Amino acid sequence: MELKLTDICKNFGEKEVLKNVSFTAEGGKALGLLGRNGAGKTTTIRIIMGVFFADSGTIETDGSPIQRSNIRFGYMPEERGLYPKQLISNQLIYLAQLRGMSRSDAQKSCDKWLDRMEMSEYKNKKLETLSKGNQQKIQLAATLMCHPQIVILDEPFSGLDPVNAMLLKDVIKEMIASGTTVLFSSHQMNYIEEFCESIAILNDGHIVLDGKINQIKRSYPRDKILIISPQAEKLISFVLQKMSGEILTAQNEDDPHHVIIKLKDPDFKLSLMRVLSDSSFDIDCFQVCEPSLNDIFVQYTEAGI
């Protein structure tokens, strides 16, 4: 299912919260909805869900105006919303029934997802008896029990240890592979890069950057080359001598085996490759240095953008 927002605006009193927000999330792919605190992410999510209504703009699914009554949503908010003093199975079944499932189907789905989350033994425990990480897994089970077509995950890895994080990663990848439309909101850029093909960055209520991550990265100058070699110091002297007119800088960075070469022109990287291939240096890695998603995020959301 394709989810498309076009020119969404929202004011609260005199405060303009969203300003012509537009982006598209495709089925079978994950889109990272990014922004600093207060940028408008939560308001955007609530408008998609129908908690708020936009002052103007449109939301479409598969090219038609959104009909929320015909769409199964799964929403995992950053601030968890389950009942700490209630039995886990009772509240999962109750919430599934509120979303239209029969009691028998809700019971089957509850058992399925508790088993998938490796939480079956806690079925008749109160939520408050579980660790924060296990409560997180129960929240995800509640999100997915109704077989949602659109899933919105807000900081889903918060509080998870590495083992449980791996389990959650597997579940998210299964959802994407099954064709689910996934919106992923997180400040942990490593997870965004792992799951999302595209991003939309909100800053001060409007989209300042959107598109496919690989295309965004390739739009940056490709004039910095990382070379990893145990002979790094000798390599620096060698390339500076051989390519003095084509290199701006060549220096070690962080690791003494890492060399960063700044070329005067990106096209000179082929010359650099030829020079090194004709040498006898032991080279473990040769690659273009692309900006990290964290670098891109900071660039587009810091003050003054």
| Domains along the sequence of the chain with CATH | 3-217 (3.40.50.300), 221-289 (3.30.70.2810)
pLDDT on residue 261 = 92
Q: Which residue has the tokens 């089970």?
A: 141
Sequence-ordered alpha helix ranges (H) in the chain: 41-49, 88-98, 103-116, 132-144, 162-177, 189-195, 213-218, 232-242, 269-277, 293-301
Closest by CA to 195, choosing from 34, 13, 58, 19, is 34
3-state class of 98 per DSSP? helix
pLDDT at position 304: 47
Give, for 17, the enclosing helix (H) or strand (E).
Answer: strand 15-25
Consecutive 10-residue runs of the chain (305 residues): their mean pLDDT? 96 94 95 93 94 95 93 87 92 93 95 94 94 90 93 87 90 92 92 94 95 94 92 91 88 86 92 91 92 92 65
Provide, for the chain, the percentages of residues in helix, strand and coil under a 3-state DSSP scheme, each rounded to the nearest 5.
Answer: 40, 30, 30
Closest CA to 11 of 45, 68, 42, 53: 53
Q: Would you call 81 helix, strand, or coil by DSSP?
A: coil
Backbone torsions φ then ψ of 302, nearest 5 degrees: -75, 165
Model pLDDT, residue 303: 58
Return the C-alpha torsion angle 42, 44, 48, 53, nearest 10: 110
The confidence score (pLDDT) of residue 251 equals 85
Listing from the earlier edge strand, what are the strands of the sheet with 15-25?
15-25, 3-12, 56-61, 64-65
CA dihedral 127, 149, 42, 69 (to 10 degrees): -100
Do residues 199 and 187 lie in contact, with contact meaning Cβ atoms separated by under 8 Å? Answer: no
